[in-house]
Amino acid sequence: MNLKYFSLIEKIKLTEVFNSVIRIIRKTPLIGKHLGSFYKFKNFKNFIYKLYPIFSVIWQIIKSTVLFLIVLFSLKAIISTIYNITDGSPILFYKNFDPNSFNDSFLVTLFGFYLVLDLFRNNLIDNGYIIVDYYKFFNIDPFNLSIIFIYLRPLLVTIGRTFAFVVIGTWLFNVNIISLILVSIAILLLEINATAFWTHINFFHSCSFINKESFDGICVIVLILLNTFLTLRFRVNLEIFAIVCFIINAIMAIFAIRYIKNFNSYDLLIENSITNYNNAMIGIEDSSNNDVKLKDKDTKEKSTSKSKGFEYLNDMFFLRHKRILRKPVIIKTLILFAVAVVFFIFISIKDVDDKFINNTFTFMTPLFMYLLCKQKNIIKSFYVNCDSSLLYYGFYKEKKNILKMFLLRAKSLLKIMLIPSLSLILIYLFFAITKTKYDISTMLFNIVLIILNGIFFTILPLFQYYVFQPFNQDGNENSFMSSLIDFGMYYFCIFVTPKLAGSMNARIYLIATSVFILFFTIIAIILIYMISHKTFKIKS
């Protein structure tokens, strides 16, 4: 009976995936229109249903492989960046560690990442909203649903994950296949163990602080950092790691499976899931725009400005939103000072040269300014509290109106972004004066670089806002192009610019950055004037 229900769930899942792919293709320019206006894939979907086990395994292999590669190369890039910045400090890395080659340490670190995440996984509670849907719409009883989500679905995931581990592990790392399989099975067993443990805690123990998501999040971060440090500082043998993880989880699984077998409150679990799901939906509806919601004290602010028209609208907006717009910037700036203190202690303990400090500030400036200036709530507040109403009228149909508001908002935002920009300049000057044999030209170059990045990361979100209008009617972000730009900038700032430290002259980098930001600003203004009166609109 479990397999019957499981096959139904897998068919539903495959249909959702297939429909999502078709939807993406339909929205692709030039290609989508050739699919026609009606859905014509009924026969192909029937073919998928008949061979659903094969397609389910193939889909799981694709997902697991893509995820594994993304996490692997992201982890390698981050570790390589830390290695380059710290010059391979023996405090963080074992002797002869090579960040440019694929070695066992990357695999062990990555497997530890999987295991840490599974420590706090409960496949019953975490999938509560899905279980509720299957219970309500397909009348699948609680016991069968629980067996599917505790054993069958994780087993399917394990098949795809094992394939990814074996193929990538033997291809890039040339390691023992048995070790890779043992780690994958250990992860499956840990999921079962964690599900049994957290189900017991949730039902029979009132440990309020343990049940909070913040507790889980803090523990995950701490354990991931600890695991990363231990595996990079002390070289861990992959075969020993795999055997130990498998044996420990296999022993614990004996008790976990016995507990799950004797657990008889699956109906109560479904009821709790329904209650939690409904409460979560109500909370989401109530809090979707809370981050930009004005308070009474905000609306009571009175402007003393004698400006009129667009200027007055902009002045009133920034006056009444100063709490929303400035508070996150100030908090992030304070965090920046705290990081600077830690960095100062680190370089005081470790003997570093001038090049290390200058390169850190030069090539990490884009990342610093991206994190400090890229504020989602600023653009969202523009839309939710101002433009979503004006877009129903002809106000933004005029090119000159949009350009005028863009320039006014850019000017006001640049004033706010002076806070992190000047703070980073002060921090840099402190380090340059106290820890380097500074010269005026290098200092000026880095100051200019900070200012330019502050301008760029202020103009960029405004450009995305007017050209792509990323929000739907409810104020939720819904733009593929805007998200793609965010991902591109995130990837460039974290993975690309730190690598340039060893291959590009700092002054050439500054000149290239200056030219790029200048051209981007000009192009952004032109595009906003030329096309935003068509693209800046209410989205369904």
Could you tell me the two tokens for 354?
Answer: 């001038």
Report helix, strand and coil shares of the chain as percent, to nearest 5. Answer: 80, 0, 20
Mind giving me the DSSP string for 341-392? HHHHHHHHHS---HHHHHHHHHHHHHHHHHHHH--HHHHHHHIIIIIHHHTT
Contacts of residue 299, defined as CB under 8 A and 6 or more positions apart, other chains included, come to: 320
Largest Cα span, the chain: 77
Are 498 and 311 in contact by the 8 Å Cβ rule? The answer is: no
Residue 302, CA atoms < 13 Å, CB-side half-sphere: 1
464-500 b/e with 16+ CB inside 10 Å = b? bbbbbbbbeeebeeebeebeebbeebeeebbbebbeb
CB neighbours (10 Å) of residue 164?
23
pLDDT tens-place values along the chain, 540 residues long: 567 777 777 777 777 777 777 776 666 655 656 665 445 666 777 777 777 788 788 888 998 999 998 888 888 877 877 777 666 777 778 888 887 777 788 888 889 989 998 888 888 777 777 777 777 777 777 778 888 888 888 998 999 999 999 999 888 888 889 999 999 999 999 999 999 888 888 776 655 444 555 567 778 888 888 888 888 888 888 899 999 999 999 999 999 999 888 887 777 776 766 666 666 555 555 455 666 777 767 666 666 666 777 888 888 888 888 888 888 888 888 888 888 888 788 777 766 666 777 777 887 888 888 888 877 778 888 888 888 888 877 777 888 888 888 999 999 999 999 999 999 999 988 888 887 776 788 888 888 889 999 999 999 999 988 988 888 776 777 777 888 888 888 778 777 776 776 667 777 888 888 889 889 999 999 999 998 888 888 776
Do 538 and 388 touch, CB atoms closer than 8 A? yes
